[in-house]
Amino acid sequence: MQQLLALIGCPKLPPQITPYVYSRDELQRLLDATDWFTSRSNRLQGLTYRSLLLLLYATGLRVSEALGLCLADMDRAQRMLTVRESKFYKTRLVPIGEDAFQVLSRYVDRRCRELPMPHGASSALFASRSGRPLSYRRVLTVFHLVRAEAGIGCPPGEHRPPRLHDLRHTAAVHRVISWYQEGKDVQQLLPRLATYLGHVNIVSTQRYLHMTPELLHEASVRFAQYAALDACEENDDA
């Protein structure tokens, strides 16, 4: 068997995709570019994709999780989303920040007024003009157009442009950067981030935390603070 494997050779794995972390300027350009997709036949289309992109960044949801949401999954009183039976068949509650909640609420109000609701409160949150859930393929196609309209191309040294899924990476990295800037204990908070993202363990979450220049800077600042504190304690003991 080993001789046979050596003869035919092992299949080559596709090159590993380098996750991309969008800058805040790029995020704003993506959101602004959705205005280009408002049409006479579907005046809600631009707001639909703007709300979807903002939700993906604000919550770190998987694209499939966001597209699987129905209207009843949004609890406005608690500012909470219920993500049902996602990866690993688990259901979890995901809180929504104030800014994202306001945008999403405005979208939901218009969605309920202007688009069909074939299944009542169980109808798709993000819907086409027929009221049916947006398809994953359609969303990816529109995102490619939005990304091009936003002027975001291939990063230096890469052969493909940033993906829609990279909004999830961006959400994780930006959250950790914010914790560093707020002086919080990041190591203690990482398990909470893992739960928020729907990961079964912290190892999966750590794969999302790529050392961007901004994250490296904040980590270096925190290390310098610890080093200075240790030096002060040593001087006090001398």
Q: Which of 29, 165, 210, 222 is catalytic?
A: 165
Q: Is 208 a catalytic residue?
A: yes
Q: Which of 62, 132, 163, 210 is catalytic?
A: 62
Q: Is 169 a catalytic residue?
A: no
Q: Is 199 a catalytic residue?
A: yes
Q: Which of 168, 169, 174, 175 is catalytic?
A: 168
Q: Which of 24, 43, 87, 90 is catalytic?
A: 87
Q: Which of 22, 49, 180, 208 is catalytic?
A: 208
DSSP-derived secondary structure for the chain: -HHHHHHH-PPPPPPPPPP----HHHHHHHHHHGGGG--SS-TTHHHHHHHHHHHHHHH---HHHHHT-BGGGEETTTTEEEE-S-GGG--EEEE--HHHHHHHHHHHHHHHHHS--TTGGGSBSSB-TTSPBPPHHHHHHHHHHHHHHTT--PPTT-SSPPPSTHHHHHHHHHHHHHHHHTT--HHHHHHHHHHHHT-SSHHHHHTT----HHHHHHHHHHHHHHHHHHHHHHHHH-
Q: Which residues are catalytic?
A: 62, 87, 165, 168, 199, 208
